[in-house]
């Protein structure tokens, strides 16, 4: 793998619409300090999200539970990979609730590394964290972004029974690119997870998203959108893939903003309740506003 290059082998320049110039402020420093103080992880930092400074400056973050080491080898992701500690940190869930309360969050997003090494694959830690949040911040809405749990319905049910408001699981890319982008994951298994959540508890909002710019074709993206809708997905996010490290998968191309607008229109016509589509869109980017807005 290498830095992103165009067809002539020259470095592919980052377009202006993907460049951000947001300075650190008191909010961002407070978020950094709080996360460090409580020994928490955020996907913002571990996945090198391009929106990290903006979100921290707005006094928000996406918490990542079950440690900071993933048992999978997805080539698009910069989260550390390898053998994680035997069990998650004992007070992780209570510290997430404490951090969310301190930050005054009213919409809280919880994600996780894959924990294929654990019998419950980390599902009980999701349930425990949701319970802590319900106790400490009863009026907050809670969104989870979970791994696929290898399709294990017992694990998925543990999270469903904790009753999050939104259950998100990302497909990430089109089926043709799964072996390269999501080794260890199965496209249909991820679709089935979303369907199972909705069929088990219809009051939970289902959500998914994909990255664009990995070499997918337009017709393949449309097919994924149709598949997601047919598998009972309510909310959709579409964003530009950006190579987080030199070792990560390179960008095939940068889509223009108008292309994201076009896909949004297609998705709304298909029937999604809400669609958030744009170059810098990520699963949890402006999640509160996305959930609360009355228009797609």
Average pLDDT (165-179) is 95
Phi, psi of 274 (to 5 degrees): -145, 145
- The Cα–Cα gap between 210 and 53 comes to 22
Confidence of residue 193 (pLDDT cuts 50, 70, 90): very high
Q: Is residue 33 part of a domain?
A: yes
Q: Is residue 55 part of a domain?
A: yes
pLDDT digits (tens, 9 = 90+) for 216-256: 999 999 999 999 999 999 999 999 998 877 777 889 999 99
Burial of 163 (0-12, 13-18, 19+ CB in 10 A): middle
Q: Is residue 10 part of a domain?
A: no
Confidence (pLDDT) at 289: 55
Of 214, 126, 218, 151, residue with least CA distance to 177: 214
pTM, two decimal places: 0.88
Count the domains in the chain: 1
Q: Please state, rounded to an integer, the average pLDDT across all residues of the chain.
A: 84
Average pLDDT (201-217) is 96
Least confident residue range of 109-113, 133-137, 224-228: 109-113
Domain range for 215: 21-292
Please give the residue that has the higher pLDDT: either 226 or 80: 226
CATH label of the domain that carries residue 209: 3.20.20.70
Q: Is the pLDDT of residue 45 over 60?
A: no
Q: Is residue 154 part of a domain?
A: yes
- The Cα–Cα gap between 254 and 226 comes to 23
């Amino acid at each position: 793998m290498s830095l992103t290059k165009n067809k002539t082998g020259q470095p592919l320049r980052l377009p202006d619409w993907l460049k951000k110039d947001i300075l650190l402020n008191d909010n961002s420093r407070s978020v950094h300090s709080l996360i460090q103080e409580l020994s928490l992880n955020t996907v913002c930092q571990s996945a090198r999200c391009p929106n990290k400074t903006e979100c921290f400056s707005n006094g928000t973050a996406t918490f990542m539970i079950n440690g900071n080491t993933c048992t999978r080898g997805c080539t698009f992701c910069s989260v550390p990979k390898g053998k994680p500690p035997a069990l998650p940190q004992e007070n992780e869930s209570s510290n997430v609730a404490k951090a969310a309360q301190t930050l005054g969050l009213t919409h809280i997003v919880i994600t996780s590394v894959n924990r294929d090494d654990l019998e419950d694959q980390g599902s009980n830690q999701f349930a425990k964290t949701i319970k802590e949040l319900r106790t400490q911040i009863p009026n907050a809405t809670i969104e989870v972004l979970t791994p696929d749990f290898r399709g294990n319905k017992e694990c998925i049910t543990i999270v469903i029974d904790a009753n999050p408001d939104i259950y998100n699981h990302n497909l990430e890319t089109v089926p043709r690119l799964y072996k390269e982008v999501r080794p260890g994951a199965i496209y249909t298994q991820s679709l089935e997870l979303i369907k199972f959540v909705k069929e088990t508890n219809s009051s939970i909002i289902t959500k998914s998203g994909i990255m664009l710019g990995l070499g997918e074709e337009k017709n393949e993206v449309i097919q994924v959108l149709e598949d997601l809708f047919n598998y009972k997905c309510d909310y959709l996010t579409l964003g530009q893939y950006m190579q987080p490290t030199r070792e990560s998968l390179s960008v095939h191309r940068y889509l223009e903003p108008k292309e994201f607008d076009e896909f949004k229109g297609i998705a709304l016509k298909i029937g999604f309740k809400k669609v958030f589509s744009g170059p810098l869109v990520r699963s949890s980017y402006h999640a509160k506003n996305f959930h609360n807005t009355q228009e797609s």
